[in-house]
């Protein structure tokens, strides 16, 4: 029997370690492992695949990204007969099971295919750590480490210039990265999607810190999905195939409001995709 493995959605550190583990375990059980390129797109027409061997995955344990490539393709969105195409190609390729490595969107597709009779193993991958059924997802630990190192560096420049610095980290619906890195990095304010931002309270907290604690700088960590009022900050209104807008800009909005209401010089740093890249931590391998 052949087992297909794919990576979908945003990349994160640790994907290659999972792929490598699938290949090695598959060989132990006499299974041929097939790599599907670019997520679910690789099972549409024409199918994109190649045989994965121990040699092909050798030396990949410490590499970021994914040797399979990835995409945010949703076969249940387009083409209209996408699920039928996937089912047909799995049959033609003689694939008996699929290992889908991804977050809520990729595993959502896997769940639907499972209900259609496909044997599926879902591997929880997302730096946001927002999947139920598991305490920690692949990629989260590395993202927190990267964000914490950035916050550590921002402390010295904030203090040197007597500034408030807003650090925007990833996290669409969940503030795990903001909370963990903010606490580890000694942030003075941490703002997450789960709780709407009260800008007056934020500014009062910063002013009180400067007045009563004799501090002349502050660090604010905010998740990209945190809301000022009822709307998320977005860089575009265009939706991807899973109905998501591209988030971004909350850090700048927050910095402008803090400077206007406190009078303290404020700057913003957006960590962005650096949180997804590079060598995974030991935990994410």
Q: Is 100 exposed, middle or buried (0-12, 13-18, 19+ CB in 10 A)?
A: buried
Do 161 and 239 share a structural domain?
Answer: yes
Q: How far is the first Cα of the chain from the last one, in angstroms, to the nearest whole number?
A: 27
Split into its structural domains, the chain has a count of 2
If asked whether residues 190 and 153 sit together in one domain, one would say yes
Residue 181 pLDDT > 80 = yes
pLDDT per position as a tens digit, 26-66: 999 999 999 999 999 999 988 899 999 999 999 999 999 99
pLDDT of 62 reads 93
Q: How far apart are CA 200 and CA 261, in angstroms?
A: 8
Q: Quick one: pLDDT band at residue 131, thresholds 50, 70, 90?
A: confident
Q: Do 111 and 149 fall into the same domain?
A: no
Alpha-carbon gap, residue 53 to 72, rounded angstroms: 26
Asked whether residue 241 carries a pLDDT value surpassing 80, the answer given is no
User: For residue 78, what is the DSSP state?
Assistant: S
**Same domain, yes or no: 144 and 120:** no
206 vs 199: CA distance, rounded Å: 11
Q: Where is the domain boundary, 92, 124, 156?
A: 124
Sign of the dihedral through C-alpha 199, 202, 204, 210: negative
Facing residues of 4 across strands?
34, 98
Looking at the DSSP bridge assignments, the partners of residue 221 are: 167, 190
Q: What span, in angstroms and rounded, lies between the C-alpha atoms of 205 and 148? A: 22
- Report whether pLDDT(230) > 90: no
Q: Which pair of tokens denotes residue 25?
A: 């375990």
Q: Are residues 39 and 74 in the same domain?
A: yes
Range of the domain at 29: 2-124
CA angle 203, 208, 214 (to 5 degrees): 130
141 is catalytic: no
Catalytic residue among 128, 141, 188, 284: 128
Residues 86 and 149 in one domain: no
């Amino acid at each position: 029997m052949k087992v297909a493995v794919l990576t979908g959605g945003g990349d994160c550190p640790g994907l290659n370690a999972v792929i490598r583990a699938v290949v090695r375990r598959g060989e132990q059980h006499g299974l041929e492992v097939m790599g599907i390129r670019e997520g679910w797109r690789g099972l549409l027409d024409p199918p994109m695949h190649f045989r994965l061997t121990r040699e092909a995955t050798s030396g990949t344990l410490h590499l970021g990204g994914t040797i399979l490539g990835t995409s945010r393709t949703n076969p249940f969105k387009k083409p209209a007969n996408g699920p039928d195409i996937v089912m047909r190609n799995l049959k033609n390729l003689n694939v008996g099971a699929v290992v889908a490595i991804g977050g809520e969107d990729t595993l959502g597709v896997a769940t639907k295919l499972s209900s259609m009779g496909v044997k599926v193993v879902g591997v929880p991958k997302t730096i946001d750590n927002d999947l139920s059924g598991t305490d920690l997802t692949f990629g989260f630990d590395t993202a927190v480490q990267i964000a914490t190192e950035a916050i550590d560096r921002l402390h010295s420049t904030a203090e040197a210039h007597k500034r408030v610095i807003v650090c925007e980290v990833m996290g669409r619906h969940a503030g795990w990265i903001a909370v963990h890195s903010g606490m580890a990095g000694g942030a003075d304010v941490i703002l997450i999607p789960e709780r709407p931002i009260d800008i007056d309270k934020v500014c009062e907290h910063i002013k009180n810190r400067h007045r009563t604690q004799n501090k002349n700088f502050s660090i604010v960590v905010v998740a990209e999905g945190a809301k000022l009022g009822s709307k998320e900050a977005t860089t575009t209104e265009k939706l991807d195939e899973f109905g998501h807008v591209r988030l971004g800009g909350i850090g700048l909005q927050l910095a402008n409001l803090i400077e206007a209401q406190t009078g303290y010089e404020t700057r913003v740093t957006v960590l962005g995709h650096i949180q997804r890249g590079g060598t995974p931590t030991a935990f994410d391998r």
